[in-house]
């Protein structure tokens, strides 16, 4: 791997990681803050991508897609939350039902199995055009446009989430996830907090879907497949590197860092030629499994040390009287 290929890979994975960072944060908000896995994520991501590409194909401004796509994600999250809280259906089943319904909705919105739009209407186009004025190579300008847009959107998302979860309402959402019964006994309407949590998480995931669709120059019916695993792997990697005493802002930033680290690892493995791109999802599953097992792997030396000490202590124990008599005889 040459230096230029390495730098290009790092730039590309950095931009990809920033664009997927809201997915990792959304998984964190549902799985760690609310302690409820939300399987609506894949459907919401695809829904945001389909909305964005359909609007751009119809001539809409890219800023409009950054408003409507998150609203579509919020609607999906609201639907899942209402099924879960009002109909008392398990959160996992609720998410599966909404994701299944979104499959047909996406087909209807696109009018087919795939959709694209002119590249000059994408959010990255004006940034790329501005970078070209500095005589930057076209491909490098494209990669840097991903990085710049991703960083700006991520900073906006993190700032809004930090503000929301620092308010009394946000703290009540966090307390509902930590101890629902205690929160209810203190007068908190836990159902409304669950609904808000689902809406917030799916809103930013819909936004991520809109951005990634423009980065990939289109959307199709399979867009979103595997996004949940990508978000989960990024989440666990982010948790591994997050300081133990970190606050909400620190956790949000390190979730984004986990997304960047995950995308970098995948890109380097593929570019190095060790794995064909067709095996990307298998690699994703392996990374996710390794990340999930990381806490156990880190505890392994301590477990081995404890077992060794226990075995040595047994060897040093004095023999009982019967064994001593047999030895003397």
Task: Answer yes or no: is 309 within a domain.
Answer: no
pLDDT at 294: 67
Helix and strand totals (H; E) in the chain:
13, 2
Q: What CATH number should be reported for the domain holding residue 118?
A: 1.10.3470
User: What is the pTM assigned to this prediction?
Assistant: 0.87
Contact 40, 98 (CB under 8 A): yes
End-to-end CA distance of the chain: 73
Q: Residue 22, CB half-sphere, CA atoms under 13 Å: how many?
A: 34
d(CA 98, CA 41): 10
Q: What sign has the CA pseudo-torsion 139, 140, 142, 143?
A: positive
pLDDT at 89: 93
Task: Answer yes or no: is 20 within a domain.
Answer: yes
Q: Is 188 left (phi over 0), alpha (psi -120 to 50) or beta?
A: beta
Number of structural domains in the chain: 1
Q: Is 200 left (phi over 0), alpha (psi -120 to 50) or beta?
A: alpha
Residues (pLDDT < 70) of the chain are 1, 291-292, 294-295, 297-299, 303, 316-329
pLDDT at 70: 96
| Residue-number span of the structural domain to which 109 is assigned | 3-297
pLDDT at 314: 74
């Amino acid at each position: 791997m040459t230096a230029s290929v390495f730098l290009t890979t790092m730039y590309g994975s950095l931009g990809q990681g920033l664009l997927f960072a809201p997915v990792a944060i959304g998984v964190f908000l549902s799985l760690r803050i609310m302690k409820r896995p939300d399987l609506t994520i894949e459907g919401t991501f695809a829904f945001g991508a389909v909305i964005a590409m359909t609007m751009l194909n119809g001539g809409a401004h890219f800023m409009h897609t950054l408003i409507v796509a998150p609203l579509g994600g919020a609607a999906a999250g609201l639907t899942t939350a209402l099924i879960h809280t009002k109909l008392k259906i398990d959160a996992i089943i609720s998410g599966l039902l909404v994701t299944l319904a979104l499959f047909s909705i996406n087909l209807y919105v696109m009018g087919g199995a795939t959709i694209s739009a002119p590249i000059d209407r994408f959010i990255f186009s004006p940034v790329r055009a501005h970078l070209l004025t500095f005589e930057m190579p076209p491909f490098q300008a494209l990669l840097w446009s991903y990085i710049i847009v991703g960083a700006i959107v991520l900073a906006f998302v993190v700032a809004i989430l930090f503000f929301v979860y620092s308010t009394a309402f946000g703290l009540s959402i966090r307390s509902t996830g930590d101890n629902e019964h205690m929160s209810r006994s203190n007068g908190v309407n836990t159902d409304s907090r669950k609904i808000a949590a689902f809406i917030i998480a799916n809103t930013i995931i819909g936004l991520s879907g809109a951005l990634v669709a423009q980065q990939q120059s289109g959307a199709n019916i399979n867009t979103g497949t595997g996004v949940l695993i990508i978000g989960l792997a990024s989440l666990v990697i982010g948790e591994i590197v997050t300081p133990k005493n970190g606050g909400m802002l620190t956790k949000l930033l390190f979730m984004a860092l986990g997304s960047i680290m995950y995308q970098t690892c995948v890109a380097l493995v593929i570019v190095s030629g060790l794995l064909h791109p067709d095996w990307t999802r298998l690699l994703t599953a392996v990374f996710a499994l390794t990340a999930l097992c990381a806490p156990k792997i880190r505890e392994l030396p301590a477990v081995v040390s404890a077992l060794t000490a226990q075995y040595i202590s047994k060897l040093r124990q004095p023999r009982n009287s019967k064994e001593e008599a047999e030895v003397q005889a």
